């Protein structure tokens, strides 16, 4: 069997663990990694073409599927959109769909099992049993240390895709795979996790000992740079304590700590089920600053129930945070499939909000893709 993985700018982190799993368990499987439709068609069927995509990729994926279907390829799909809307993905022309955890089910597929929808939501995997990247093929990415989030925020797909019970990769597993990276001169450690300071806990509190154990052992085996609580992960404000900041400061190279604030209105925070308050945001920023880091604070604009008072409170928070020394990262709400707010409509930002965001950006205090996300929000609402 030949399996072709269709890479694009949004799915590298989804595909590499699957490729690593196949290489680890079935090294004789012929795999190809392509970045365009033409590259796929240079490989003659019979072959399986694997897609992983988000909801705002539906149009171009559909166009490619229509062409490949006529050519006789077998088409499989996973990722956020397939997990949220498997029936729609079958309707696009895919032969098989993978929901949720894909590692075990891709192996079952390669063994010959056939089911229109492979369900990785019901039977969750132990992520220790599967590699996070593939050193042999020089396919590296930040290491996933936690999958799943207990909070279930109303706008977020993470609890759907990864489950509400956090599953942590053990320190032993993380160190083992990082050693394989070091053997290929990969000396920088970054992590994928819904909440960096939740590592090693039930997801509802900080486990400082587990964090210290992880970072200590990574330094011990030769990691030269460690980035924790920064891109591509962030930190929930209520998990920020003086103790955890003092602990990570001994090991990490990042200057920024990314805080998921999302709004300056407690009313909005309750409606989106954030389980923290504005006070938590301010206090966490103070602790981060006091420990020599710069808070980079995520704010989401355009929730459909957000009113003028909520927006005013959010800008009051932004002004306060900027005055303290924080940087703001602005987002626009997107009605993602599978979330509570999927059917709530798209974001709309008043003109004065756009002007204020632009002003903060021009002053060097704010960045983000909020303008592009305005378009994507409307696109998703029309799917």
Q: Which pLDDT tens digit goes with each residue over 250-307?
A: 999 999 999 999 999 999 999 999 999 999 999 999 999 999 999 999 999 999 999 9
pLDDT, residue 217, reads: 98
Structure confidence at residue 27 as a pLDDT band (50, 70, 90): very high
pLDDT score for 255: 97
Strand order in the sheet with 96-100: 30-34, 2-6, 48-52, 74-78, 96-100, 117-120
Predicted structure pTM score: 0.95
- What's the pLDDT at 377? 98
Question: What pLDDT was estimated at residue 156?
Answer: 97
Average pLDDT of the chain to the nearest whole number: 97
CA-based nearest residue to 76, from 89, 88, 62: 89
* 39-48 average pLDDT score: 97
Longest dimension (CA), the chain: 61
Q: Please tell me the predicted confidence (pLDDT) of residue 345.
A: 96
Beta-carbon contacts of residue 292 (< 8 Å; ≥ 6 apart) = 249
Among 139, 254, 105, CA closest to 191: 254
pLDDT of 331: 98
- Please list the alpha-helical segments (H only) found in the chain: 12-25, 37-41, 58-71, 80-84, 86-92, 103-110, 158-162, 171-182, 208-220, 242-249, 266-271, 278-290, 308-324, 351-362, 370-381
pLDDT in tens, 226-259: 999 999 999 999 999 999 999 999 999 999 999 9
Quote the pLDDT of residue 198: 98
* pLDDT at res. 48: 98
**Mean pLDDT value of segment 19-24:** 98
Token pair 């900041």 is at which residue? 245
How many CB atoms are located within 10 Å of the residue 376 CB? 19
Query: How many residues in total does the chain contain?
Result: 383
pLDDT for res 173: 98
The reported pLDDT for the residue numbered 210 is: 98
Q: Which two tokens stand for residue 191?
A: 């992590």
According to the model, what pLDDT value does residue 349 have? 96
> What average pLDDT does range 304-321 have in this prediction?
98
- Give the percent of the chain with pLDDT over 70: 100
């Amino acid at each position: 069997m030949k399996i072709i993985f269709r890479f694009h700018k949004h799915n590298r982190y989804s595909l590499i663990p699957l490729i690593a799993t196949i290489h680890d368990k079935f090294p004789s499987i012929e795999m190809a990694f392509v970045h365009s439709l033409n590259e796929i068609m240079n490989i003659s069927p019979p072959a399986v073409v694997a897609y992983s995509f988000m909801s705002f990729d539906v149009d171009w994926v559909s166009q490619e599927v229509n062409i490949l279907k006529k050519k006789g390829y077998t088409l499989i799909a996973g990722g956020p959109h397939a997990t949220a809307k498997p029936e729609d993905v079958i309707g696009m022309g895919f032969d098989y769909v993978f929901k949720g955890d894909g590692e075990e089910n891709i192996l079952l597929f390669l063994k010959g099992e056939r089911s229109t929808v492979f369900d990785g939501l019901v039977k969750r995997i132990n992520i220790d049993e599967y590699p996070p990247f593939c050193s042999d093929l020089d396919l590296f990415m930040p290491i996933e240390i936690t999958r799943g989030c207990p909070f279930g925020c109303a706008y977020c797909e993470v609890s759907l895709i990864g489950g509400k019970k956090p599953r942590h990769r053990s320190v032993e597993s993380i160190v083992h795979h990082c050693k394989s990276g070091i053997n290929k001169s990969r000396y920088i450690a970054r992590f994928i996790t819904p909440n960096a300071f939740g590592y090693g806990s039930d997801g509802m509190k900080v486990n400082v000992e587990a964090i210290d154990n992880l970072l200590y052992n990574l330094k011990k085996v030769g990691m030269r740079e460690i980035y924790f609580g920064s891109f591509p992960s962030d930190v929930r404000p209520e998990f920020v304590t003086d103790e955890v900041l003092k602990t990570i400061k001994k090991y990490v190279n990042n200057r920024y700590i990314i805080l998921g604030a999302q709004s300056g209105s407690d009313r909005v925070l309750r409606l989106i089920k954030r389980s923290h308050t504005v006070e938590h945001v301010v206090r966490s920023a103070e602790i981060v600053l006091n420990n020599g880091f710069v808070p980079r604070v995520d704010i989401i604009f355009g929730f459909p129930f957000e009113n003028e008072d909520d927006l005013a409170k959010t800008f009051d928070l932004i002004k306060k945070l900027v005055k303290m020394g924080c940087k703001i990262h602005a987002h626009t709400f997107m009605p993602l499939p599978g979330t509570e707010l999927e059917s709530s409509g798209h974001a709309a930002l008043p003109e004065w909000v756009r002007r204020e965001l632009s002003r903060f950006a021009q002053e060097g205090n704010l960045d983000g893709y909020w303008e592009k996300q305005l378009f994507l929000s409307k696109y998703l609402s029309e799917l």
